[in-house]
Amino acid sequence: MTTIGDNLQSQYARLWRACEQAGRPRDAVRLLAVSKTFGPDAVRAAVAAGQTAFGENYVQEGVEKIAALADVAGLEWHCIGPLQSNKTRPVAEHFDWVQSVDRLKIAQRLSEQRPAHLPPLQVCIQVNVDGGANKSGVTPAELLALAGAVAALPRLKLRGLMAIPEPTPDAESARAVFAQVRVLFDALNAQGLGLDTLSMGMSDDLEAAVAAGSTMVRVGRGVFGARAYTST
């Protein structure tokens, strides 16, 4: 077993323990392995250990890695980083999911640019419940209108919400953010949007996110180790 294989095993054990403590079944929460800054060999080691879903923050880096792993069938690639409108085309052409949609213009471009031979691009709207105006993500006040508009785009499939709490040593504030995002998720479903994905929780706050109803945790350092450079 490689180090990455061992890490994956312990992160899944941790996730399943969190599910159990929250009274939720194991298969209620997926683990997305965030491979940003790590090369194709690291991804291959994770694949060898059974992992199939990977998250990337940077478009160019992600597209190169997707090409380098093209010989492996059945991988699922998620774009989880901030998106500029001039970078939407490679994302629409190469990724399976985009979790960081936070404005209609980006969603419209992704829908227009999604190739016809591929299934619809699976998307989450990133919400910002605790940050200032310069943080990525739509505000709760703008969320309902954006969700309705994104759900109507022909080549996108709106799956849910993604959130990243402000980094803080205080576990309580992450918990409060997760609880607020959960309320927004339930409110959208009460409007009939049929969302099934609540993407929240990372290496440092996975348990709190699972307790709040996360259905997908995004784990980078816990799987691949410390990053040589930071991303966000």
Ligand X SMILES: *Cc1c(COP(=O)(O)O)cnc(C)c1O
Give me the residues that bind ligand X (CB under 6 A), please: 34, 36, 57, 80, 164, 202-204, 218-222, 231-232
Residue type, 115: P
Nearer to ligand X, 180 or 203 (CB): 203
Q: Distance between CA 122 and CA 162 in Å, rounded?
A: 12
Nearer to ligand X, 155 or 201 (CB): 201
Shortest Å, Cβ 81 to ligand X: 6
CA 141 from chain centre, in angstroms, equals 22
Shortest Å, Cβ 219 to ligand X: 5
Nearer to ligand X, 175 or 221 (CB): 221
Q: Distance between CA 229 and CA 232 in Å, rounded?
A: 10
Shortest Å, Cβ 140 to ligand X: 19
The radius of gyration of the chain's CA atoms, rounded to the nearest angstrom, is: 17
CA 82 from chain centre, in angstroms, equals 11
Q: Distance between CA 114 and CA 118 in Å, rounded?
A: 7
Nearer to ligand X, 35 or 111 (CB): 35
Shortest Å, Cβ 218 to ligand X: 4
Q: Which two tokens mark 24?
A: 């939720």
Q: Distance between CA 174 and CA 63 in Å, rounded?
A: 31
Residue nearest to ligand X (CB): 220
Shortest Å, Cβ 158 to ligand X: 18
Q: Distance between CA 17 and CA 26 in Å, rounded?
A: 8
Nearer to ligand X, 128 or 155 (CB): 128
CB 163 within 8 A of CB 138: no
